[in-house]
Amino acid sequence: MSKLHVAFLEIRVLPWRPRRRTIDADLLREGAPDLLDLADDVAGVVIGVVGMILLYVAAPVVAVVLAVLLLPIEIWLVAAVALLLLLARFTGLIPWTVLVADGMHDEERERFRLLHRALRRVRELNGGGRPRVVWKWS
């Protein structure tokens, strides 16, 4: 490779990529009723206002109680998921990615199951020294 190539060890914090979700507008239009009765409109407004008042009163109380009750479980769950991701990464189940960029045009990604092989490839492309690391969320 020429001197213009620069390599980085690319570490994705979340090894999966989130999908974009969209709603099809035609499905919403087809499901909407044509004509609504006046009684249904009034009942809907009354039920909506009463529900909103109940929600404004009850939601903060429920949120605080659930937060206090579930906090210990959430902490252990987040720690367990982080530990499993680290274990999967270092055992080679989730590969290490080396990002090879030549100037500002092309980017190429090479995957390695073991960390020391990925670091060796980064040092080889950069001519030795400390390997550069790029952190990405997904």
| DSSP conformational letter for 66 | H
pLDDT tens-place string over residues 124-136:
888 888 888 888 7
The CB-side HSE value for 121 (13 A sphere, CA atoms) comes to 20
Q: What are the distances in angstroms from CA 59 to CA 48, 52, 66, 95, 109?
A: 15, 10, 10, 43, 47
* Whole-structure pTM value: 0.52
CB 128 within 8 A of CB 5: no
pLDDT surpassing 80 at residue 37: no
Structure tokens at 86: 């680290």
**Residue 107 to residue 98: CA distance in whole angstroms:** 10
Give DSSP secondary structure letters for 23-60. Answer: --HHHHHHHS-S---HHHHHHHHHHHHHHHHHHHHHHH
pLDDT tens-place string over residues 41-96:
777 888 999 999 998 989 899 999 998 999 889 999 999 999 999 898 888 888 88
